[in-house]
Amino acid sequence: MHSTSPKSVEQFGSASPPQFDGPPSSDLAELAKLGQSSLDRVGNTPLVRLERIAAGIPGARILGKAEWLNPGGSVKDRPAANIVNEARREGKLIPGKILLDSTSGNTGIAYAMLGAAYGFPVTLCMPENVSVERKRILNAYGATLIYTDPAEGSDGALRKARELAGKYPEKYFYADQYSNPANWQAHYHGTANEIWQQTQGRITHFVSMLGTSGTFVGTSRRLKELNPHIGCISLQPDSPFHGIEGAKHMAGAIVPKIYDPTLADADLGISTEEAYVMAKRLAREEGLLVGISAAAAVAGCLKLARQHPPDQASVFVTILCDSGDKYLSERFWEE
């Protein structure tokens, strides 16, 4: 048999390796269109049906927007991208400026991802007790982290960011997700229209957790324009002391400037325990590993669906704002 082993370098002698010409310069513009940048992938997330969770509730369909499929892994990619794009367009985020904001994790991850992609530095104020996974992700993206007292929650981080922005205005662009209209506008122009198209206008109820309130405010505002009869229900933790990361108990917190409670047809409190139970149910009954606030949103949908008249068809849509992989160090999974 003849040997088929590859030739060694010596066997080729001293001849120069073959040269391959690149594409003609006329094709370079076309090559630039191949594939997508990570930032092109923000938005246009699918709706997933929750079939086993909603089984036994006549006439009710529960759908969740799979926001973990955004490049930064959460719904917060939408407002963060809009805030950054508007700031760059208006000349507020210029070379030499550092983007500064407070975060409980997901918006910070989105900022850090955008900073890495666009080439601007990011400094974030956040409670020291956020999940270890979030801290590691932010470190991976190269963000500078300033930890605040866990007992003060997201409000403590907010106060620290405001202090730094006031003290060093020439150093920072303060994104201020709690007051920036670009937050809710991202959902008004994006999330709401996607939901309307994906449900073919059949949505009857929109249900969302409150944090900065941007998701609820922007999406509800637009859906009400498309159909005033859509019920928009806000959800929040049932206590100021809770374990639903990223969510706000409005009565016991600094209320975001962008929050508009008049948009809610109803407001429902969700306990941390309900969220934990639902997170495990979604993983084990639907094959969906989602975060705690996403699980709380589904728990709220389930409560509302059970109250709905069984002889009326209803389509509940909620936001599954991130996946559960940022929370795997939490003990409730094994309890």
Find out whether 314 and 61 touch, Cβ atoms under 8 Å. yes
Which two structure tokens, joined as six digits, stand for 177?
A: 């997700």
Q: What is the DSSP string of 16-75?
A: PPPP-----HHHHHHHTTSS--GGGGSS-PPEEE-TTTTTT-TTEEEEEEEGGGSTTSBT
Q: Which helix (H) or strand (E) holds 135?
A: helix 132-141
Distance CA 47, CA 77 (A): 17
| Residue listed under structure tokens 């930064």 | 72
Active site residue 293: yes
Q: Which helix (H) or strand (E) holds 298?
A: helix 292-307
Kindly compute the dihedral angle of the four CA atoms of residues 95, 101, 107, 112, in this order, to the nearest 10 degrees: 40
CA angle (264, 270, 272) in 5-degree steps? 145
Distance CA 191, CA 77 (A): 12
Q: Mapping DSSP to helix (H, G, I), strand (E, B) and coil, where does residue 330 land?
A: coil
β-pairing verdict for 266-270 and 231-237: parallel
β-pairing verdict for 122-127 and 205-209: unpaired
Catalytic option among 65, 74, 76, 323: 76
Q: Mapping DSSP to helix (H, G, I), strand (E, B) and coil, where does residue 123 land?
A: strand
Catalytic option among 293, 314, 323, 326: 293
Find out whether 296 and 209 touch, Cβ atoms under 8 Å. yes
Active site positions, annotated? 76, 293
